[in-house]
Amino acid sequence: MFWTRLMSGVVLIAVALLTIMAGGPVLFVTLLCVSLIGTQELYRALKIREKKTDALEAAGYVGIIIYYAGIYFSFEKFGMMGLILSLLIFLFLYVFRYPKYQAGQIMEAYFAVIYVGVMLSFIYLTRGLPDGKFIVWLIFLCSWGCDTCAYCVGMLIGKHKMAPVLSPKKSVEGAVGGVLGAALLGAVYAAATSQDMAGYAVVCAVGALISMIGDLAASAIKRNQEIKDYGTLIPGHGGILDRFDSVIITAPVIYYLAKTILNL
């Protein structure tokens, strides 16, 4: 199990490096595919997807494609338009297929479009910022870096439970260590790339704090739905959502922090 997890992790990192360094259409298409797969995983967890694709599930995929098409040309001009068109598709189904779908199903299906498709798209949007080729890595530094540092500190000195019902192994000490560790990683990365050390450290610290909320939120959904993993796509890690649970929430936070704290 350890070697399977390690090897799939190495492959995952290699793919991330290649696509993010390439940027542009390569990153765009990769994230679109990842978003569609992640949305399918969430639909399966929420039981929107059963044995075969139906109109409600298909509407979610179409909504994500419309949104991505919009941001490819201009996030500011067409991003919100894409989300509204996506919502209109769901409402069309709700009205003209009534009473096949319940209001809760419509809201869950649209939530998946936002939670997976829109949030992950901010990796692409961050890569497109001035100095985005440097800043985009902060998303992963503060997400995965925080997770690693929190685990190590928690194992060493963790005593006080942070969320005892939801995640009994996570500790307050581990959370503090994760945030401080991510800030340190951000500062070191900034020094290595001749960027703003203080700014990068602050962005990573805030991003790390948010990433823990994303991790716990994804765990809460799994507990509510009584599943262990979202999928089996990544051997030893689970599905897309199992590996990117914290990145999903962190990506838009880093994007907006970069535009405010780093003045981009």
263: left (phi over 0), alpha (psi -120 to 50) or beta: left
The pLDDT value recorded for residue 155 is 86
**How much is the average pLDDT of 5-19?**
74
pLDDT at residue 88 tops 70: yes
Cα 240 from Cα 258, distance rounded (Å) = 25
Give 16-66 pLDDT, tens digit per residue. 888 989 889 999 999 999 999 999 999 999 888 766 778 999 999 999 999
pLDDT at residue 2 tops 50: no
The pLDDT value recorded for residue 4 is 61
Which own/partner contact pairs does 218-222 have at CB distance under 8 Å and 24+ positions apart? 218/242, 218/245, 218/246, 218/248, 219/166, 219/167, 219/245, 220/166, 221/42, 221/45, 222/45
Per cent of the chain over pLDDT 90 is 55
Query: For residue 184, what pLDDT band results from cuts at 50, 70 and 90?
Result: very high
Cα 2 from Cα 112, distance rounded (Å) = 31
The pLDDT value recorded for residue 53 is 75
Give 137-177 pLDDT, tens digit per residue. 999 998 888 888 888 888 888 787 888 888 878 888 889 99
Per cent of the chain over pLDDT 70 is 93
Q: How many CB atoms lie within 10 A of CB 74?
A: 10
The pLDDT value recorded for residue 229 is 80
Cα 217 from Cα 239, distance rounded (Å) = 16
236: left (phi over 0), alpha (psi -120 to 50) or beta: left
Half-sphere exposure of 111 (CA within 13 A, CB side): 12
Residue 222: strand, helix, or coil: helix
The larger pLDDT score, comparing residue 124 to residue 226, is at 124
The pLDDT value recorded for residue 187 is 94
pLDDT at residue 106 tops 90: yes
The pLDDT value recorded for residue 103 is 93
